[in-house]
Structure 1
Amino acid sequence: MGMSLVSFTSIPLRFSHVPRSILPLNSPNQCQIQRASDDSLSGYRQARVLTSKPIRTVCTKAVLSEQRQYPKMGAKSTGPIPPSQLIQVVETAATTGAEVVMNAVNKPRNITYKGITDLVTDTDKSSEAAILEVVNKNFGDHLILGEEGGIIGDTSSDYLWCIDPLDGTTNFAHGYPSFAVSVGVLFKGNPAAAAVVEFVGGPMCWNTRIFSATAGGGAFCNGQQIHASQTDQVERSLLVTGFGYEHDDAWLTNIELFKEFTDVSRGVRRLGAAAVDMCHVALGIVEGYWEYRLKPWDMAAGVLMVEEAGGTVTRMDGGKFCVFDRSVLVSNGVLHAKVRLQFPFP
């Protein structure tokens, strides 16, 4: 059974800013992971009570003229490890995990459950083991957070690897083409390098494409640089969201947001893999994505992909994003103010 990062209450990690779900230690550049409170979910409780006034009416001239510059969340550099060296290992780790998944994609699944509907397969575990082997071989002194294995390694390291060995396990179990292997590396708490191997096609025609990014180095798909779209109207946008396994207040809030955004845009898709959703924003085929109840391994790679492709990443209230905030709003950048103001936040 996978271990949640929020269950580790005494692991020191260095961050360039302190997310709201983490308390500061003695050093201003350090923080300590604690169990997330309801307030760390970026305001979903406030969002749940929607007014009867249609959300689409908020797109006023003031909104259209807003030129707010949202804070960057990517690392300023890849640290002492050169970008070319770091991304080579990140890509190797992700593709090694993807080989395990590809070998299993047409075979029967051995499925167990973390919850009533939250699946885990032998493939998740095997993929993570293969990724860990690559990381440990190259950077044995780094800290690693895996969805299935929890946190291992040197807690004093400036580097934290966030690994999702099979993002979209339910889709994988059903043979539905929206799942991926996601590997993101944080340097002092901020995304520095990322790779996502997306599985495309479907039964009888499975294939993959690999997304990669480094801080300040741009985002790429199959080796070609990619850019977020330039669509600047919500009504001409295609959006994506996701729903967690817990049918709680955040889930109910998102049902309402799904309805409202469906009404004001060209449509809202729910594909079921956060890393894939964010890579699609980076690729320019959708304009925005939001989701509650996420974990660091869900977001660490995808958010860097979006920012390096020219998009914007924030919390849902527009504040500076950290991968420990548990909810995220990303867009192509030019639409961010308009999309964010659809949310019932002050």
Structure 2
Amino acid sequence: MQQSSDQVLVTTVWSYYENMLFTRCMASMAAAADVTEPEDLMKIAQQAASAGAQVVLEALDKPRLIKLKGALDLVTETDVASEKAVLEVLKRHCPHHAVLGEEGGVSGDPSSGYLWCVDPLDGTTNFAHQYPAFAVSVGVMKGLTPVAGCVVEFAGGPGTWVTRTYTASLGGGAMLNGRTIKTSSVTDIEQSLLVTGFGYDHGAAWALNMEFFKYFTDKARGVRRLGAASVDLCHVACGMAESYWEYLLKPWDTCAGVIILTEAGGKVTTLDGQLYSPFHRSLLASNGGMHARVLEVTACRTKTLSVECGVDLSPWLIPDGYDAFGLKSY
């Protein structure tokens, strides 16, 4: 019997929805097959970071093409090549997870609930000058919580380069080159070595941080500024320093380093004492024992920075479709 045009339309529409539901079902099943255990994610992070680090290592003694992303912010062809190597590993093992890369932006599926944060060359200016404070940083978070990460730090110098590989998984501890690391036990600022960073935006946050720098230089044994957030976090994690703080950081700067630090026994909050996620724009990290002492200095002034100076410290760079448990990008 010949179908009417209305019947054909109904059949066509029903087939369309059947196909759409089937596609979504298959995509959901495929996403469920991606790696989700923190220890396994750590191994993937290490493999990805090592792939990027190999690109960086091979480029160290070669001429490099340097471009400007902003007035002072550098990017080299090595940043781009390293990120490509990292992404190849992540796409092979976790094809349905989302990725937020410093150079390439967002890729993958934000609705998967997992977000990889990739800094293919943290400390590009140091790399360009062959100053030994740069790294490849690969971390992954579920929701707002970093669950695994790896930072491959370059140390030494021209002709003597070596790498330090920091890894951590949620509940699995933190390691440096395969050995367990812990934060220091120092609780007095007067006995501490502190670390900070200054971004490329020389506005009110930069000026306030300079005040903190001066204050803590007078109080502590010293304050260092290396220029690579992932390295700073790892140095606190392994006890080289007691605390690190900075404004206007991005998720790829901190995701891997934060899980390494917290698994080593450290603590992280925003600079005004709120719960921290890599989407927040201020970070106070410490060995745990000194956290309250540093926060006494930074908390009130940071709140003033937002209220009186109009500096936006709200969450940012949350990919569309990613479940950040109510956090919104501004």
TM interval, short-chain normalised: 0.7 to 0.9
TM-score, L = length of structure 1? 0.76
What's 1:339 paired with?
294
Task: Choose from 150, 170, 174 the match for 2:105.
Answer: 150
Task: Choose from 183, 187, 196 the match for 2:151.
Answer: 196
Q: Give the drift of 1:80.
A: 6.8
Q: Give the drift of 1:88.
A: 1.2
Matches within 5 A, 1:299-314: 299-314=254-269
Q: Is 2:27 the counterpart of 1:103?
A: no
Given that 2:35 and 2:94 are in contact with CA atoms closer than 8 Å, whether structure 1 keeps it comes out as no
Task: Choose from 261, 268, 273 the match for 1:318.
Answer: 273
What's 2:164 paired with?
209
Q: Is 2:138 the counterpart of 1:183?
A: yes
Q: Is 2:242 the counterpart of 1:290?
A: no
What's 1:237 paired with?
192
Look up the SS of the partner of 1:203 in the other structure.
Answer: coil
Q: How many residues align?
A: 268
- Where is the helix percentage greater, Structure 1 or Structure 2? 2
Q: Give the drift of 1:129.
A: 0.3
TM-score, L = length of structure 2? 0.80
| Distance in 2 between residues matched to 1:156 and 1:86, nearest whole Å | 18
Matched letter for residue 114 of structure 2: Y
Instruction: Give a deviation string over 1:95-132, Cα, whole Å, max 9, x none.
Output: 00000000001111100001111000000000000000
Task: Choose from 56, 70, 79 the match for 1:115.
Answer: 70
Matched letter for residue 208 of structure 2: T
Instruction: Give a deviation string over 1:64-109, Cα, whole Å, max 9, x none.
Output: xxxxxxxxxxxxxxx9722332111110000000000000011111
Structure possessing the higher relative contact order (Cα contacts under 8 Å, 6 or more residues apart): 1
| Distance in 2 between residues matched to 1:83 and 1:175, nearest whole Å | 34
What's 2:216 paired with?
261
Given that 2:195 and 2:225 are in contact with CA atoms closer than 8 Å, whether structure 1 keeps it comes out as yes
Matched letter for residue 76 of structure 2: T
Given that 1:240 and 1:270 are in contact with CA atoms closer than 8 Å, whether structure 2 keeps it comes out as yes
Q: Give the drift of 1:246.
A: 1.1
Look up the SS of the partner of 1:182 in the other structure.
Answer: strand
Matched letter for residue 81 of structure 2: S
Matches within 5 A, 1:10-49: none
- Larger of the two Rg values belongs to structure: 2
Matched letter for residue 122 of structure 2: D
Aligned pair in 2 of structure 1 residues 126, 214: CA closer, same or farther (>3 Å)?
A: same
Q: Give the drift of 1:344.
A: 5.2
Given that 2:74 and 2:125 are in contact with CA atoms closer than 8 Å, whether structure 1 keeps it comes out as yes
Matched letter for residue 192 of structure 2: S
